[in-house]
């Protein structure tokens, strides 16, 4: 990515692009300098959603491009208020942002050069960008690289990766959305974490065998060459290896990708962390401490072994019993939510 040869391939990430010369002239504070640095090369927009202390959602837009030396540069170009951070809302906000730039460009160009056409927004798909680079790339290396990537898009291996990632995202996407819910119960969150990890493990055990029979038809309808899993795998530069296609796709690709996901979940949601969430739920005062569980609270104390010794834990057991029987009769907690 840090070399000029990687510029055209960078667009394959699929960001929306538009006419650089016209659009960037309009941005306040030296955008002409951006145009001078980028020239006719490609660039990308990086978008991130967040909210401020007043809970208002924002979308930050960052320009990412290669400078004349081939190094990746990132520059903040705008902050847009949005009603939420869903992908559709962010896409519409980007289009609106670009439209404002487009209008500003029109009036500035009208003043400077009469009725010169303003910038046009172009929503390019990765394949369209690569097709353009393959035919119009500034160097032979760029055109060859684009051609190789387009060929890879039609390969068995690329399609295999797409299927893996799609199915993994279907499993993990649910947990990601649920954890963002403000009304999510702690116990429900802990249960969903465990459920997702179990589902990933089951996915690892069964997916490859279940998907393999479906591949020939999928590939044939899309004119993609199929592979015999028992043949030797053909590696880089068409060199035949000593391992079978099955070993490469099942062990080296599929198992490795899923294991990476499982490891990530185990690090982020370790057994101790999940237990912490579960034990903390026993502290909830809602509905007159309906979730109170003395055994969980004592286990919670054991997770902080440097703060509570055995004598402390014995004292806490009696204290918790007294506190519970005191609070369950307190009417202030009866309808607490």
What is the DSSP secondary-structure string of 43-55? EEEEEEEEE-TT-
- Does residue 147 form part of some domain? no
**Residue 255: per-residue pLDDT:** 94
57 inside domain: yes
User: Could you tell me if 293 and 265 lie in one domain?
Assistant: no
Q: Which helix (H) or strand (E) holds 255?
A: none
Identify the domain containing residue 225 by its residue range: 154-269
Kindly state whether residues 263 and 289 are assigned to the same domain. Answer: no
Q: What is the pLDDT of residue 200?
A: 93
Relative orientation angle of helices 126-136 and 140-153, to the nearest 10 degrees: 140
- Rounded CA-CA distance 62/71 in Å is 16
Asked whether residue 129 is assigned to any structural domain, the reply reads no
CA nearest to 63, candidates 99, 31, 95:
31
196/261 same-domain check: yes
pLDDT given at position 12: 32
Residues 88 and 168 in one domain: no
261 shares a domain with 170: yes
- Judge whether 80 lies within some domain: yes
- Contact between residue 186 and residue 277 where contact means Cβ atoms under 8 Å apart: yes
Both 210 and 307 in a single domain?
A: no
Determine the pLDDT at residue 214: 84
- Is 239 part of a structural domain of the chain? yes
Residue 276 belongs to some domain of the structure: no
The whole model's pTM is what?
0.53
User: Which parts of the chain have pLDDT scores under 50?
Assistant: 1-32, 105-109, 111-123
What is the tally of structural domains in the chain?
A: 3
186 with 100, same domain? Answer: no
Q: Clarify whether residues 180 and 286 are in a common domain.
A: no
pLDDT at 257: 92
- The answer to whether residues 231 and 289 belong to one domain is no
> Do both 189 and 245 map to the same domain?
yes
Does the residue 85 lie in any domain?
A: yes
Non-local CB neighbours of 39 within 8 Å, separated by 6+ positions: 68
277 lies in some domain = no
Same domain, 162 and 260: yes
Q: What is the distance between the alpha carbons of residues 90 and 50, in angstroms, rounded to a whole number? A: 11
Q: Is 89 left (phi over 0), alpha (psi -120 to 50) or beta?
A: alpha
Q: What is the pLDDT of residue 37?
A: 62
| 175 and 258 inside one domain | yes
């Amino acid at each position: 990515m840090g070399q000029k040869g990687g510029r055209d391939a960078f667009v394959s990430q699929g960001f929306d692009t538009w006419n650089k010369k016209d659009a960037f002239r309009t941005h306040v504070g030296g955008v002409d300098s951006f145009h001078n640095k980028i020239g006719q090369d490609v660039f990308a927009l990086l978008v991130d959603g967040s909210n401020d202390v007043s809970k208002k959602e924002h979308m930050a837009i960052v320009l990412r491009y290669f400078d004349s030396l081939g190094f990746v540069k990132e520059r903040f170009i705008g902050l847009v208020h949005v009603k939420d951070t869903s992908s559709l809302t962010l896409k519409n906000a980007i289009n609106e942002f670009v439209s404002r730039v487009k209008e500003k460009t029109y009036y500035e160009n009208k003043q400077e050069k009469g009725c010169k056409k303003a910038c046009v927004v172009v929503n390019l798909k990765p394949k369209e960008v690569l097709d353009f680079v393959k035919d119009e790339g500034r160097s032979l290396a760029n055109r060859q690289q684009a051609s190789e990537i387009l060929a890879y898009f039609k390969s068995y291996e690329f399609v295999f990766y797409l299927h893996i990632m799609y199915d993994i995202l279907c499993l993990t996407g649910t947990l990601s959305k649920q954890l963002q819910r403000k009304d999510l119960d702690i116990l429900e969150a802990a249960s969903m974490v465990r459920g997702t990890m179990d589902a990933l493990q089951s996915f690892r055990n069964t997916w490859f065998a279940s998907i393999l029979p479906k591949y020939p038809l999928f590939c044939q309808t899309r004119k993609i060459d199929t592979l015999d899993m028992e043949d030797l795998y053909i590696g880089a530069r068409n060199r035949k290896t000593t391992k079978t296609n099955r070993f490469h796709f099942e062990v080296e690709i599929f198992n490795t990708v899923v294991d990476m996901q499982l490891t990530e979940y185990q690090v982020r949601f370790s057994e101790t962390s999940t237990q912490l969430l579960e034990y903390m739920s026993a502290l909830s005062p809602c509905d007159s401490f309906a979730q109170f569980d003395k055994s969980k609270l004592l286990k919670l104390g054991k997770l902080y072994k440097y703060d509570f010794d055995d004598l402390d834990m014995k004292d806490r057991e009696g204290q918790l019993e007294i506190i519970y029987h005191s609070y369950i009769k307190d009417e202030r907690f009866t309808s607490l939510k």
